[in-house]
Chain A
Amino acid sequence: MNTAITDLLVEARALTVRYGAKRAVDDVSFTIPKGRVVGLLGHNGAGKTTLMKALVGLARPEGDLRVLGLDPRRQRVQLLASACYIPDVAILPRWARVEDLITLLSGLHPKFSAERARQLLRRTSVGLGDKVRTLSKGMVVQAHLALIAAIDARLMILDEPTLGLDVLSRKAFYEMLIDEWCDGERSVVISTHQVEEIESLLSDVLMLNEGKLVLSISLGDIDARFVALSHDAAVAEQMAAAHPLLRYRTGPGPGGNAAIFDGPPPAHVQALGQRVRPSLVDLFVALTRRPELDRTQF
């Protein structure tokens, strides 16, 4: 077997998805190897949900797209045997008991393991006899993850799974994901707005801005490519003159300034500040623009 091919779970080349005249996803190319936790970041309307839909064959893209070596539109049934997906509009039927859902999935999905689902649910406070409508929002999402993670798949796609959850539920969700899903072979793609919170979980980032892929990088490479310098207010003008991607505040007082550069700035500029770790949220602010801000700028 050719490992070079099978190790890439997703290969997208010049991928475009149009809704009428609008390009929701605009000429995007990237790959996702196995064993990765990929954060898909972008403002509302940036194309995250459309891209995820394309990955599971629910949107009609132009360009080349291979997911697990398959064409998601033409080989969707085959693909969904080894890829699982929780859409942003996911709901579990309110009238069902959790045990009923396990029975349902056992009949529906060839790679679903009822035993594994029960084992995963034991991590949560969700009981097998509980009706979905009696569960809190956090418990529903955990139950949903437990059901989906009980599918022996290679790729999981989660569209804003923790939206509207409190911090403890989000933590429990991510704990289950890391503990029970990430085994070095399977990959997961997660979209979220909680950039700060998810940063340490990610191995890679895909950042979308108005349909365009503005960043596709591994977290390890961020430190090598981007240079963040914390500096004193007194040298702010010299920093600005070196054209950083973004200038921001890191804390109170005159020392709490920072500038982030794509690639190392000239040595005389580097000497003016102290190198710090560029955070994902700063990069996000630097590389994406809210559409409403763009309109007011011009």
Chain B
Amino acid sequence: MQTWDQRQPIYQQLADLLAAQLLDGDPPEGQAMPSVRVLAGQYLLNPLTVNRALQALNDEGLLESRRGLGLYVTAGARERLKAVERRRFLEVEWPRLRERLRRLGIGPEQLHWGDTR
């Protein structure tokens, strides 16, 4: 069974999981999200929790509701997600990583930045 950690509410963890999938193009922009019931069955979650997660994605402008049809991935959702991820990396992860690189004495020339592989 899917396990949920204790750091955040479960709905937030599901929202993050679904956002990561959207970033990978699953489902692609303009396509329908799986229904609450499908997601509830898939992740063994209470439908109210699933609703809350979808609502959170909706609030972030990643999903839009089409009358009578359900939720669809908005055009530009991936770009928006990527921008959020990029900002999080630059503001949170990168300073930590840079600090660690400095402590380990690793400079730009050792990171093979230009390598394609």
Contacts and interface: CB of A to CB of B under 8 A. Distances in A.
- Chains A and B come from one and the same complex: yes
A182 B43 CA distance: 14
Contacts, number: 57
A277 interface: yes
Given A171-B1, A178-B41, A197-B1, A277 B48 contact: no
B8 interface: yes
Interface string A171-188: 100110011001110000
B54 to A, nearest CB: 14
A171 to B, nearest CB: 6
B6 A276 contact: yes
A223 interface: yes
A277 B44 contact: no
Contact size range, A: 20 to 34
A223 B9 contact: yes
Contacts of A183: 37
B6 A178 contact: no
A182 B44 contact: no
Contacts of A277: 5-10
Contact size range, B: 20 to 34
Contacts of A202: 46
Contact of A175 (B5, B9, B41): B41
Contacts of A171: 1, 44
B89 interface: no
A291 to B, nearest CB: 29
B4 interface: yes
B74 interface: no
A182 B37 CA distance: 8
Nearest to A170: B1
B92 to A, nearest CB: 16
A200 B6 contact: no
Contact of A167 (B1, B4, B48): B1
Interface string B6-17: 111110000000
Contact of B7 (A35, A182, A200, A276): A276
Interface in B46-63: 46-49, 52
A270 interface: no
B7 A201 contact: no
B44 A179 contact: no
Interface of A: 35, 37, 167, 171, 174-175, 178-179, 182-184, 197, 200-203, 219-220, 223, 228, 230, 250, 276-277, 279
Given A35-B47, A201-B44, A203-B46, 10 more contacts: A37-B46, A171-B1, A171-B44, A174-B44, A178-B40, A182-B40, A197-B1, A202-B46, A219-B46, A223-B9
